[in-house]
Amino acid sequence: MSPWDRRQWYPSAPKRPPPAHGIKMKKTGTTWWGQRWIEALEVVLRGSAGRLARGRAYARAGRAHDLVVKGGKIGANVTGSRPTPYAVAIELTELPDAVWEQVVHAMAGKAEFAAELLAGQMPRNIGDVFRQAGASLFPAERSDLSTKCSCPDWGDPCKHVAATHYLLGEALDRDPFLLFELRGRTKAEVLDALRAARAGTLEAGTSSSSADEAVPEVLLGEVQASDYDRAREPLPVLQLSFEEPVTHGAVLRQLGSPAGWSSDASPADVLAPLVRAAAERARRIALAEPELDAVEAPASTKPRRGRRTKPSRT
């Protein structure tokens, strides 16, 4: 019997329960940038489906804990079958200062970038800004992302690394600035640089415009109180026409019945006469016509006259 056969004969050690301070993943990839991070695990790291599935199960069970993000490094512990938790380390390549300066300058040229980032959203086209600077915000190559784990599994990524990666994806959904920190810039550094670049762009634009173009001046004359609501010139003659629609209730029939409608009659049958009466009243008010005691019902809704019957004698 080979050593492998003997090892399979012995029962495997039971997994230890998740720690009380474990971080349970609820749902990851709820934002487009969180989904891009998960794609890096599945595409860039090229993890096997089995290890990724076990990593998701570990993350949901709260086996990953003590998650720390500092600079471009991610550290976490994952509880498995051994008494000592496995130590996981994930590291992203930090972008050079020259790339960040070019990225901040490009973002400063568009006000929507600052507005979305301040609202806690990652701009959709932010990847184009990093590509123009010759870099990528999300991991694009295997060299962008290094992983280590103290477990004996030689798979890359192992289920412990996958659990940490999924857990970080949920954290990125809540705070997209973590992705900037993984690439070498904190939230405060990005926003401060963006504000400074925006201020410099606005000052440069103001000085250039004031030097090249003269700002026209407008002098206001005195205005009398009696002239406040008086028109400066005669108003044009307004000609209004009110035409009755060819078919009444067409829009109501087109909208159909709402979800909570329970009556046998359709909304068009119920509301169309009311809408028609309201329209007729509005027309009479606009044309200053005298009000009627009741609006004449449409011909189709008038009751038909039947034969008169003599009362029976008892």
The full set of domain ranges for the chain reads 9-201
Nearest to 92 by CA among 194, 189, 32, 172: 172
pLDDT at 1: 42
Cα–Cα distance for residue pair 249/273, rounded to 1 Å: 8
Nearest to 34 by CA among 146, 122, 164, 143: 122
* pTM flag (> 0.95): no
Cα–Cα distance for residue pair 83/292, rounded to 1 Å: 90
Phi, psi of 87, rounded to the nearest 5 degrees:
-95, 125
Please count the other Cβ atoms lying within 10 Å of the Cβ belonging to residue 47.
22
pLDDT at 218: 66
Cα–Cα distance for residue pair 296/282, rounded to 1 Å: 15
Cα–Cα distance for residue pair 249/247, rounded to 1 Å: 7
Alpha-carbon distance values, 220 to 216, 217, 314 (Å): 13, 10, 93
The answer to whether residues 143 and 137 touch, using CB atoms and an 8 Å cutoff, is no
Written as tens digits, the pLDDT of the chain (314 aa) is: 444 444 444 455 566 788 888 888 888 888 888 888 888 777 877 777 888 888 889 999 999 999 988 878 899 999 988 889 999 999 988 999 999 999 998 888 887 887 887 777 888 888 889 999 999 888 888 888 888 999 988 877 889 999 998 998 888 888 888 889 999 888 888 888 888 887 765 454 444 444 455 556 766 677 777 777 777 778 788 777 777 777 777 777 777 788 778 888 888 888 888 988 888 888 888 777 877 654 454 444 444 444 444 554 54
